[in-house]
Structure formats: structure tokens, C-alpha cells
Amino acid sequence: MTIPASLYAPRPCRLLETSDLTPQEKLFRLQLADDTSLGHQPGQFIQLSLPGLTEAPISIASSPTRGPVFELGVRRAGRLTSALHQLAPGATIGIRGPFGRPFQLDALRSGPLLLIAGGCGLAPLRSLIQYCQDRPEEFGAVHILYGARSPADLMFKDDLAVWQRSDRLDCRTTVDRTPAASCYDGDTGLLPELLSRLDFDPTDCRAVLVGPPPMYRPVIAELRRLGLDGDRRIMLSLERQMRCGVGKCGHCSIEHLSCCSDGPVFWLEEVENLRGAL
Amino acid sequence: MTQALIAKTKLADLVSFLASCGKVVGPVPLGHGQFKFAEVSSLAEMALDYIPTILPPKKYFMPQYETLLRYDGADGQQMQAVVEVEELVLFGVHTCDLAGIQCLNVVFSDRPRDLHYMIRKNHITLIGLECSDYCDGFASCAMLRNHLPKGGYDLFFSELSDGYFVDIKTHKGEQLVEESGLFEPVSDAAREQLQELRRSKKQIFRSEVPIRYQDIPRLFDETFDSDVWTRIGEKCLSCGNCTNVCPTCY
């Protein structure tokens, strides 16, 4: 029998445009086939699918303030994402969502912001950065700190250039290593080192972290050393193997929490003492 | 009527009646001391003294394969959500499996609801069967307090000397009792026999592990880093098939 709706039914999207971000990552500009808005908030994710292949959770890399077109930054990592990287504009892609708890914007409006990303973590954080760009009157000073393995691995280079030129944003990058012939002019070293050199007022400051698991503890330790201690000071987005997206299947469980529906954005104190969270 | 009796001599007629109305599934022997839930058309095909089946009856609520969506690739991937349902009577389900299904009901009826599960569930009639004694030496039903019926069925059968005491839990169960014409009112003697069965079970079913029920979550929590999990983990291939054999996993 047919039913009017299902948690598991993807909505068709049109692929409008693709562009290379790095040798491994591409940017995909999409719009729902019925031209409606996705209705997401910064920090949420979708489940992306192609017929005959599986689904994968992908962070939404653009702000809802940019209209019905939305963007995804996707690393080529498996069968689905390899097939996705082969698609040309005009192709149809399935999505479910948006899912998950977004960045808590109300809590971020009270003071300076440290937006800290490592590797692919810049994709979800870009959604928040664009939101801050588009509504500058709602936010205080915004410091963006982005770390990658090498200059070639820096995602969203065009955006980084714009953010670095912006009067309203303070954007810094750091890489683990710089090849001899590189024209990269950012910092070299790990994110805690970059953070330690930052001049900012920790009073009422909030930090948002998105990155690979090894990034969290050293960055959190440095943030605390700099004065971001106490509740509701550090917000982070965790990456897990989300499957159902609605808190049913248990694939992304962190103790009693479902990363897909209770997260992926958490306040640090909500997950810090959960085993396997950080 | 919330309770009824059925004579043992009429049980075969009941199964035949159910089979004449639609698909009936019950515990059948596989040989080598193993059992499975499979379609039956008569009581003789079933083994009501079965031990837990290889796959729990969960497989009828959550099939290992199911079509969730239909679409035509030429139609821009417009998906049509579908539910595969069939009218089904699950006969002879023990209280442990009923408890497992109740856990699944909680998960899938919690918002956002899983319509596929909820619709399929409404097409399944559950007839439970009480264990008078332990089914095997590996049972842990008393530790988890699932050796007694706690709902989650349409009809529930408890074996007496000459018949079965039947608890009628739902309108669907009541209709079945009325339409079959095989049941009779409960007598005082039958009530007394049921009470005796429950008294007897109190002596037989004791917590199989010397721990308190309410301590189980804490004990799991405190033994998170135990070597036991390391040893079990060494055998794990991460295939996920354990979730198929577990009555409550999904």
C-alpha cells in the first residue's frame, strides 16, 4: 500500500553547479526540484542519496540567508561520493532532511565569537559564517580560525580570501606543513598555537568548534586556558555515521544521545563526560 | 469479556480457524533442537514447548528486506512511499519476545513516527503463550522480569490442566474469540488453576544472575571498561547481524 509520507523518502534536488574546492573535495550547488526552500538552519545536515547507491550524511555548507539554493562541500571518500563527484549540472540528487540540532544562534549573539574549524569542518561552519556575514548587526566580533594539513587542503579558498579582506571578520588559517615552493602566506602549526596568539576579549566570548576528533581536546584545553571556562561557552559539532537521521536506528549513539537528533551540535558540557564523545 | 477459556481439545480447531482466515505463523521445529517462526496451517506443525527461535518474531515487524519506496528513474526520482503489509496472526509468542516487541513499539511510535512499522504492526495479531517453566538453561527472563505477561498482545494463553486460560487484551482479540466460537466463559476452578500456576512460577523463576533489576543500568555503566567487552569485541566482525537475532535491536 502507498502512504503519503515516509521518514525515509528522499526529495529530489537539481544539481545546479559544481566547482573544485581541493583535489579531494568539491562544492555542489543544489536546489529542491520543486523550487521550495530547504528550510535549514546553520549546523544542520542532510542525508544525500543516489539511486542504487547508499545514503551519506553531509553538512549543509551555506546559510539559509542565501535563498533556496544551498551548497554542500563533499570529499570523495567512497562509492557514493565518488559517483557524486562525477555528476554534471542538471543531474538529480536525492536528499532527506534537514536534520539535527543547529548552532544555537541566540547564545552566539551575546559577545565575540571564535569560529574554529579543522579540515572538512569548515563546511558546516561556513553556514554559520555566512549567516554572521549576512546579519552583522546581530553579532559581535567574529574570529575565524581554520586549520588544514597543507595549503592544498584548505577548503573554500575563495571564501577565505573574502573573509580575510572583510573589515567585519578576522580570518586566520594555519597548516601542519608548508611545501617549499608554496605561496601560502598564512600560519604554520596546530590550531591551539594559532589560538594562543589571538588577541581577543574572553568576556562573554563563545567558541564554536567543528573538525576531526583529534582536534577537540587540545583546542578545548587552550580555550579554557584563555578564559573560556564554565557552561555554555564552547559549542561543538560532532561527526558520526548518521543513518536514519531521526534518532531511531542507533548508529550514531553517544551513550544516551543520538548525534543525529540530539546533535550534531552540542554544548561541551553536554558531551564532555560521555565515553567516546570526544 | 476480558478473559475466556479454551479446551486443549479445541486448540487444533482454533489454529485451523485462524489459518482459514489468513496467514498464521508459529514456532516450528527445525531439528537439532532449533526452532523458527514460520507459516503453519495446523497445530500439529507447531512445537509449543519451543526454546527461543533463531530469529525473534521481530522479523515480521521489521523484515530483513522491505521496500520502503518505489520510483521510476525516468520520473526525476519522484519517490512514492509504500508499506508492505499482510494480515498475520503470530501464535504462541513467549513473554520474552512480547517484551522485545514492546520495546520496538516504543522506539518506532516515538515522534517522528515510523509509519512503515506502525502500519505493519496494526496488521499483526499477537497471541502470546505463557511459559510454565524455564525453556532452557540460558534464559534470563526472571532477571528482566519478563517471565510474566505484561501486555503487548491481543490474546494471551496460559496452560491449565485441560485447557488454556485466555487473557483478552484488545478489541481485535475479542473479535477473534467471538468469531471462532471455540471459547467458553472462565470458571472459578480455572481462575484458581491460573493462580496456582503463578504461585508455582514464583518458586521456579528466580533472578538468574544475583543482581537487582534496578541495578542493571548502573552495572553496565560501571563495567564499561571491563575485559569482558574486549574479549567479546575481539570476536566481532562488525557485520551487524547480531541486531537481527536480538529481539530488541533495530
Structural domain harbouring B220: 214-250
pLDDT at residue B242, rounded to an integer: 82
Please check the confidence at residue B75 and state whether its pLDDT lies above 90: no
Name the strand (E) or helix (H) holding B173.
helix B171-180
Question: Quick one: B140 and B177 in the same domain?
Answer: yes
Residue A259 annotated as binding site: no
Q: pLDDT (tens digit, 9 = 90+) per residue, A231-270? A: 999 999 999 989 999 998 888 999 889 999 999 999 999 9
pTM of the model: 0.88
Question: Quick one: B165 and B248 in the same domain?
Answer: no
Region B110-127 average pLDDT:
95
Size of interface A-B (CB pairs under 8 A): 58
Question: Quick one: B126 and B53 in the same domain?
Answer: yes
Query: Which range has the worst mean pLDDT, A189-193, A208-212, B136-140, B145-149?
Result: B136-140
pLDDT at residue A133, rounded to an integer: 94
Q: pLDDT (tens digit, 9 = 90+) per residue, B83-115? A: 999 999 999 999 999 999 999 999 999 989 999
Domain boundaries, chain A: 11-99, 105-237
**Domain A105-237 indexed as CATH 3.40.50.300:** no
Please check the confidence at residue B240 and state whether its pLDDT lies above 80: no
Question: Quick one: B205 and B219 in the same domain?
Answer: no
Task: Confirm or reject contact between B78 and chain A (CB < 8 A).
Answer: yes
Task: Confirm or reject contact between A53 and chain B (CB < 8 A).
Answer: no
- Residues from chain B that touch A13, judged by Cβ atoms under 8 A, are none
Cell reading at A251 = 548508529
Instruction: Write the residue in A1, A4, A9 that is nearest to B69 by C-beta.
Output: A9
Select from B194, B210, B226 the last residue of a domain.
Answer: B210
Region A101-112 average pLDDT:
93
Query: Which range has the worst mean pLDDT, A101-105, B116-120, B194-198, B233-237?
Result: B233-237
Task: Confirm or reject contact between A249 and chain B (CB < 8 A).
Answer: yes
- What total of structural domains would you count in chain B? 2
Question: Rounded to the nearest 5 degrees, what angle is found at the Cα of B25, between the Cα atoms of B24 and B26?
Answer: 125
Rounded Cα distance between B167 and B2, Å, is 6
Rounded Cα distance between B23 and B26, Å, is 10
Confidence grade of residue A178 (pLDDT, cut at 50, 70, 90): confident
CA distance A246 to chain B (A): 7
Give chain B's mean pLDDT.
93
Q: Which among B72, B79, B107 is the top mutation candidate for probing chain A, defined by the most A β-carbons within 10 Å of its own β-carbon?
A: B79
Question: Quick one: B88 and B101 in the same domain?
Answer: yes
Task: Confirm or reject contact between B105 and chain A (CB < 8 A).
Answer: no
Any idea how long chain B is?
250
Task: Confirm or reject contact between B217 and chain A (CB < 8 A).
Answer: no
- Under a CB-based contact definition with an 8 Å cutoff, are residues B145 and B213 in contact? yes
pLDDT at residue B124, rounded to an integer: 98
Complex confidence, ipTM: 0.79
Rounded Cα distance between A173 and A116, Å, is 10
CA distance A196 to chain B (A): 35
Question: Quick one: B242 and B165 in the same domain?
Answer: no
* pLDDT more than 90, % of chain B: 80
Sign of the alpha-carbon torsion through B159, B161, B167, B171: positive
Rounded Cα distance between A140 and A207, Å, is 12
Give chain A's mean pLDDT.
94
Phi-psi region of B215 (alpha: psi -120 to 50; beta: other; left: phi over 0): alpha
pLDDT at residue A97, rounded to an integer: 96
CA distance B215 to chain A (A): 17
Question: Quick one: B28 and B132 in the same domain?
Answer: yes
Class of domain A11-99: mainly beta
Q: pLDDT (tens digit, 9 = 90+) per residue, B146-156? A: 999 999 999 99
3-class secondary structure, B204: helix
pLDDT at residue B169, rounded to an integer: 97
Report whether the peptide linkage leading into residue A179 is cis, meaning its omega lies within 30 degrees of zero.
Answer: no
Please check the confidence at residue B249 and state whether its pLDDT lies above 90: no
pLDDT at residue B24, rounded to an integer: 98
Task: Confirm or reject contact between A5 and chain B (CB < 8 A).
Answer: yes
Q: pLDDT (tens digit, 9 = 90+) per residue, B42-60? A: 999 999 999 999 999 999 9
Task: Confirm or reject contact between A94 and chain B (CB < 8 A).
Answer: yes
pLDDT at residue B98, rounded to an integer: 96
Question: Quick one: B206 and B225 in the same domain?
Answer: no
Region A156-180 average pLDDT:
93
pLDDT at residue B77, rounded to an integer: 65
DSSP A46: E
Residue A249 annotated as binding site: yes
- Give the contacts of B195 (CB within 8 A, at least 6 positions apart): none
Chain B residues 14-73 with CB within 8 Å of chain A: 68-69, 71, 73
Instruction: Write the residue in B76, B110, B116 that is nearest to A92 by C-beta.
Output: B76
